[in-house]
Chain A
Amino acid sequence: DTEVTQTPKHLVMGMTNKKSLKCEQHMGHRAMYWYKQKAKKPPELMFVYSYEKLSINESVPSRFSPECPNSSLLNLHLHALQPEDSALYLCASSRDRGPVEKLFFGSGTQLSVL
């Protein structure tokens, strides 16, 4: 089973809303990631969790707040987003962080901010 599950698939929100993106993997991977991707561009790293601890925050605005409740789950809490935050948000996992061998991605959440 090489599956990373993301919900919801699509999300439309206003700039004053609070919403959360969810990600789950049951591969026993100890590193989980959030990426942001604009159309026809490569994914851009936002956050990395290693062994349930935040290890990398790529200078992401505080309106994005990650959470790792346990080794299988990763959330991204959204608050007061801007229209330019509209993008495909991808969750990924890898067996470990050192070294990273392969990343497995979920199918993404297509976010539109109105």
Chain B
Amino acid sequence: GQQLNQSPQSMFIQEGEDVSMNCTSSSIFNTWLWYKQDPGEGPVLLIALYKAGELTSNGRLTAQFGITRKDSFLNISASIPSDVGIYFCAGPNTGNQFYFGTGTSLTVIP
């Protein structure tokens, strides 16, 4: 079945470093969403992307909707300790089925 694969699965970085993660699909997606989840809390929507090639920023976060519509990328610049959490990509494919990615766990070392 459909699966959104995120890489890397986990990251350990120094505070101040930049972070890059990606999400790939076997099928075309209409929308790409990026969520951040803190332990014991619900996912919080960070960025939404609606068109192939779209590049959107939200503060230190930048995300891109891949040209093939089968992938998306999230970058975090100048990481800080509160960036710690699990990042999920998600979205509806062309059949309006909503999927979550496998998640990237981020640890920021002060």
Contacts and interface: CB of A to CB of B under 8 A. Distances in A.
A102 B42 contact: no
Interface residues of A, number: 23
Contacts of A99: 30-31, 92, 96
Contacts, number: 52
Contacts of B100: 42-43
B48 A106 contact: no
B42 A105 contact: yes
B86 interface: yes
B73 interface: no
A102 B35 CA distance: 11
A101 interface: yes
B63 interface: no
A45 B98 contact: yes
B40 A108 contact: yes
A41 B100 CA distance: 10
Contacts of A98: 96
B90 A103 contact: yes
Nearest to B4: A42
Contacts of B42: 4, 6, 90, 92, 105-108
Interface in B5-44: 30-31, 33, 35, 40-44
User: Across chains A and B, which 6 residue pairs bring their CB atoms closest together, nearest first?
Assistant: A105-B42, A42-B100, A108-B42, A100-B92, A107-B42, A105-B43
18 contacts: A6-B42, A42-B102, A42-B103, A45-B98, A88-B40, A90-B42, A92-B42, A99-B31, A99-B92, A99-B96, A100-B96, A101-B48, A102-B48, A105-B35, A105-B42, A105-B45, A108-B41, A108-B42
